[in-house]
Amino acid sequence: MDRRQFIQTSSVLLSGTTLAGCLGGDSDESEDNGTDAAGPEFPAYDLPGYSAWPPNDPRTNDFVLFGHLNIEHLHGTAGDEEESPDEAPTAADDEDVLLSLPGYGFIITAFWFQLGLWGYPWEGTLGSENEPDGMATEALTMTEGTFVFHGEYDPSVFANEYAEGFEERETNEFTVFEGRDGENTEGFAYAVSENAVVVALSSEDIEEHDEIVGTLDEALMNRVDEAGRIVDQDDGEWLYETTGPADMVTGFWRVEGLEEEDLQTGDEESDEVEEEAASIEDNPVFANVDSFISMVVLPESEGGVGGDTVAARFAALYPEGEVPSEDELREELMASDPDGDLDVMTTDDRAHVMIEGIDDDVQ
C-alpha cells in the first residue's frame, strides 16, 4: 500500500465525523507544558496507555515504528461495503495530512491483528466482537516485534483454555505462556495480566524461538522496570504528553528523515509510489524529522476516548535549527484550513500542531 492509498483509506476512516469541517477553537481539557519563559507553552495531556510499550531501541527496523487504534473503530469498519468508484476519495483528499496520517498506524495495526497472529490458540477470539468472559479488549498497539491488547482480562481463562503446548511461568504481574522448542508451539510466546495481553511477533528479523521469547521478555521487563522505552526519554515523554490518549496513532522514533519506503506494508512499488516518494523526501515537515507522533481523538459519541473533544495533533522532534516554519507546517499538514484554526507552536528543535473542537460541532 503506497502513501496515497493509505492517506485515502485514512480519509475514509475519518469521514464519519466530518473532522476537518467541525474542528476549531481551543479545548480546555489540557494543561500547558511550558518549555521556558521565552518559549511556547505546549499542551499537556495524560500519558496514553499505549506509551508503556514502544521501545527506545529498534528491534525490526532502523527506527522504531508504532501504531495504535481503538478497537471499536476497527470493528466499526469491518462490515462496511466496498465503496464505489464514484464515492472513493480522490488525490485531493491527501492534502490534510494532519487528519489522515494517523490512519497509517490504524492500517498497520489492523494488518497485524488480522494476519500476523495466526497460530496463537486464541486467534479469532481475542479482540473479536464476541469475546468470551475473561476478555474485554478496548485497544490495540503494534510495535517492534510485539503486539499489545489493552483492556480487562482474566489470566486464569488463558491458563485453562489457551495453554496447551505452552510452558507457563510468572513474571511480576504477568503470566507468561512460552511455546516449546521443537513442538508445534515453537515460535509462539505471549503474556497476560489483568489489563494487557502482550504477544511476540515473528518476522524476517526475529525468527528463532529464543529470539521471539527474548523479545517478549524484554518488552515485559521494560514495562515493569519503567526503563528502555520511548516514554522513559525526556523527548519521548514530551511527544506522548503533548498528544495524549488517542483513537488512531502513527508514531516514528529516531527515523532521521521520513522516506516513502518507510510507509510501506509490503506491496510492490509502482510509478505512483515513486512519484509520492519524491514528494515525501522534499516535504519540509518530514525531510529532516527525527521523531513524531500523529494522532486523532474522537468524542465519546463516536465511540472515541476524547470525552466531548474531537482533535488531531502532531508533535515532532527535529535537529536543532531544522524545524519547519509555521507557514510550512500549516501548508503541508492542513492545506484546507481556510479559517486559520490550526494551532502551531515551534522551538529550535520541536514542533506541535493541533486542531480541536467539541462534540457539539460534529455533524
Question: pLDDT digits over 1-13, tens only?
Answer: 343 444 444 445 5
Q: Which residue has the higher pLDDT, 165 or 256?
A: 165
Q: How far apart are CA 89 and CA 257, in angstroms?
A: 28
What stretch of H or E contains 176?
strand 174-179
Q: Is the pLDDT of residue 132 over 90?
A: yes
Give the SS3 label for residue 219.
helix
At 338, the pLDDT band (50, 70, 90 cuts) reads low
Distance of alpha carbon 137 from alpha carbon 153, whole angstroms: 8
Q: Which of 179, 153, 172, 298 is nearest to 225 (CA)?
A: 172
- Looking at residue 229, its pLDDT comes to 98
Provide the β-strand partners of residue 351: 316, 346
At residue 88, does pLDDT exceed 90?
no
pTM, to two decimals: 0.84
Cell of 99: 487528519
pLDDT band at 209 (very low <50, low <70, confident <90, very high): confident
pLDDT at 358: 59
Sign of the four-CA dihedral 295, 299, 300, 301: negative
Of 188-192, 196-200, 327-331, least confident by mean pLDDT is: 327-331
Q: Which residues are paired to 358 by β-bridges?
A: 309
Cell of 45: 495531556
| Strand, coil or helix: 119 | coil
Residue 316 pairs with which residues in a beta bridge? 292, 351
For residue 77, the model assigns a pLDDT of 55
Q: Which three cell numbers stand for residue 65?
A: 515504528
Residue 299 has a pLDDT of: 87
